[in-house]
Amino acid sequence: MNPILIHEVGPRDGLQAESTVVPTAVKLDWIRRTAASGVDIVQVGSFVRGDKMPQMADTDDLFRILSKETHRATLSGLVLNEKGLERALEVGVQLICMGVSASETHSRKNTGMSTEDATRRIVATALDAKKAGRKVQVSVQSAFGCGFEGAIDEARVRTIIAAYLEAGLTSISLADTAGHAHPEQVRRYVQMVLALDPAAEITAHIHDTYGLGMASVYAAMEAGAKAIETSFGGLGGCPFTKVAAGNVATEDLVHGLQRTGQRLDIDLGALIGVTKDVAGHFGRELPGCVYKTGPIQTKVPA
């Protein structure tokens, strides 16, 4: 079995709901250290309007600086529309992420579009990104439930996924934007995507709003997900959902994997160091556990 990939989204999803804008130099330090730790992907920011989301106003500048450097990890960025893609292409984003919400209410709050319109637009934008030679990941947001609407019909999720696959977009993230997912549901949805296309590469983006985050992550991995999106310290939450709450903590997941001999190539101590600095910057404890308790030492095979 191939090692599970870790996609660190702290610099984007972790910071987007914060009221305090983190200085660019501080972000660069966190991103560089996280990228050097051995995680596979680091999401630097999102290409949104700075006046609407000040925390992401320096995304272009971050990529301009980071693209001149060599990094162990792939650097990803989130785009919402064609203008965002133009900006991402201009500054050399390696992996372009975009998505559609299965919740009509969340879709309109987040993008100003219906789910149907957003699907058409995002598929076209994703294909443009592929034509430009970039790697693309598409997501289904609010896939497991919505803070405004409650349960989301599985058929709505399936329709979006089918549109992606029909367009040849096979790198798909199932995003638990509202934190409503539970392990059985996550397992079923991953299996559903693989039934539609066994070659699909599935990422799980799970929030821990109601305490089932880590259990749902393990269910996703057991069902065949290839990557997990996590955030340093469990920081984060979508500002356009009803109850914004954090992600599964990167260092907690890495610690769990290393307890069973997986992902020993990742420097857990480095990740914990970043999380401690993030917590210190905001002056509060973060939801993650291992950065506070310290890890259980795992013996690395000789």
Q: Which residues are catalytic?
A: 238
- Are 57 and 44 in contact by the 8 Å Cβ rule? The answer is no
The beta-strand segments (E) located in 177-225 are 201-206
Encoded tokens for 142? 């609010």
Dihedrals φ, ψ of 141, to 5°? -80, 155
- Alpha helices in 91-182, H assignment, sequence order: 104-111, 115-131, 154-166
Encoded tokens for 192? 């559903």
Encoded tokens for 54? 């000040």
Distance CA 183, CA 185 (A): 5
Encoded tokens for 128? 């443009």
CA distances in angstroms from 250 to 128, 148, 160, 182, 219, listed in the order given:
31, 27, 28, 19, 16
- Are 197 and 172 in contact by the 8 Å Cβ rule? The answer is no
Dihedrals φ, ψ of 16, to 5°? -65, -25
DSSP 14: I
Question: Quick check: helix, strand or coil at residue 138?
Answer: strand
Distance CA 211, CA 213 (A): 6
Give CA 182 to chain center in angstroms: 18
